[in-house]
Amino acid sequence: MKPMEAYVKKWYEALDNGKLMGMKCNRCGAYEFPPVPVCNNCSSTDLEWAEMSGFGEMVSFDFSFQLTPNFAPYQSTYHAMVKLDEGPTMISWLVGVEPGKFDELFEKLPLKVKMEVQKREKYSYPVFRIVE
């Protein structure tokens, strides 16, 4: 087998450097994001690291009035449900939208979004921003 890598560590370290890394399957071409060592589409273990475009379509969203304590300082409460251009789906914060704009957002779905890296105290994390 291929040597096992520290996927989680490597993903977060790439984020620290502003890069959104996934895995591309060399057998079927499917992407895994965030990274895992086996393709969930065709079962191949022949995957390689690939930088994601960061673009995707927000197909739905939700909103939390109350965040868990470890995320409370960040004060963002929308979650964007996004189908990335490369195929995988992802949920993360939607930044740059005022709270309470539910109907307005809903009427505009699907919306083009782009991932960007948000720096935190000890690590970085991808969030989404509307681009149109």
Partner 1 sequence: MSINNGHFSRSVSIIGCGYTPLGDVLKTPEMLGMTERELFAWAAIEAMEDANIEAKDIDAFYFGQVGPNLFANQCASSGGIGEWIGMRGKPSISHDEACSTFNMGLQLAVQAVASGVYDVVLAGTSNAAQSHFPLGYPPHLREKNPDFMFELESLVDDAAYCLPGNNMFSILDGGAVSYAQTYNVSFEDLRKAMNQAAIIARWNAVHNPKATYSKQTYEEEAKSKGFATVEDYFNSPFNPPIAVVQHLFHSTLICDGGGAVIVCPTDKAKDYTKYPVEIIGMGESSMIGNHVFGTPFEIDRLAFERAYRMANIHDPYTEIDYMSIHDCSAQHYFTTTEAGGYFKPGEGWKAVLEGRIAHDGDKPVNTSGGRLSAGHTLSGPGGVEFTEAVGQMRGINGDRQMPRPPKVCVVQGYGGGWNSNVVVLKRSF
CA 6 – CA 3 distance, rounded (Å): 10
CB of 109 to partner 1, least distance (A): 6
CB of 120 to partner 1, least distance (A): 9
The three-class DSSP label of residue 47 is: strand
**Measured from the CB atom, is 17 or 70 closer to partner 1?**
70
Q: Which of 5, 44, 53, 91 binds partner 1 (CB under 8 A)?
A: 91
Tokens coding 107: 């009427």
Is 7:36 a contact under the CB 8 Å cutoff?
Answer: yes
CB of 93 to partner 1, least distance (A): 5
CA 79 – CA 61 distance, rounded (Å): 5
Residues at the interface with partner 1 (CB under 8 A)? 8, 11, 34, 59-72, 74, 76-77, 79, 81, 89-93, 102-103, 106, 109, 125, 127
